[in-house]
Amino acid sequence: MADPLRPLRLVNFATRLVSIRLETAPAYSTGARLVWLLEILKLTEIEPPTPNPQSPISNPHPPRSTWLEIDTDALAGNVRALRAIVGSDRQLFAVVKANAYGHGAEIVGPAALAAGADRLAVATLGEAAVLRQVGVTAPILLLGYTPGYLGEELLGWQLAATLCDIETARQWSAVAVAAGKRIPVHVKVDTGMHRLGLASTNVPGFFFQLAELPGLFVEGIYTHFSTADEADQRYAQRQLKTFTDLLAVLSLQGQRPPLAHAANSAAILSLPESHLDAVRSGISLYGLHPSPEVPLPDAFRPVLSWKARIAQVKMLERGEPVSYGNTWRSPRLSTVAILPVGYADGFPRAPRTWQSVLINGQSAPIVGRVCMDMTVVDVTAICEAGEIVRAGDEVVLIGRQGAAAISAEEVARRTETINYEVTSRLMARLPRIVVSS
Residue type, 257: P
* Alpha carbon distance 47, 126 (integer Å): 44
Closest to 139 measured CA to CA, from 63, 220, 58, 254: 220
Q: Which of 222, 324, 343, 420 is catalytic?
A: 324
CA–CA distance, 113 with 153 (Å, rounded to integer)? 23
Per-residue three-class SS string for 185-254: EEEEEECCCCCCCEEHHHHHHHHHHHCCCCCEEEEEEECCCCCCCCCCCHHHHHHHHHHHHHHHHHHHCC
Report yes or no: 14 and 40 within 8 Å, Cβ to Cβ.
yes
Catalytic residue (one of 42, 97, 101, 145): 97
Instruction: DSSP letter for 378, please.
Output: E
238 alpha-carbon distance from chain centroid: 33
Using DSSP's 3-state secondary structure scheme, residue 380 falls into helix
C-alpha–C-alpha distance, residues 247 and 316, integer Å: 68
Confirm whether 324 is a catalytic residue: yes
Residue 97 annotated in active site: yes
User: Which positions are annotated as active-site residues?
Assistant: 97, 324
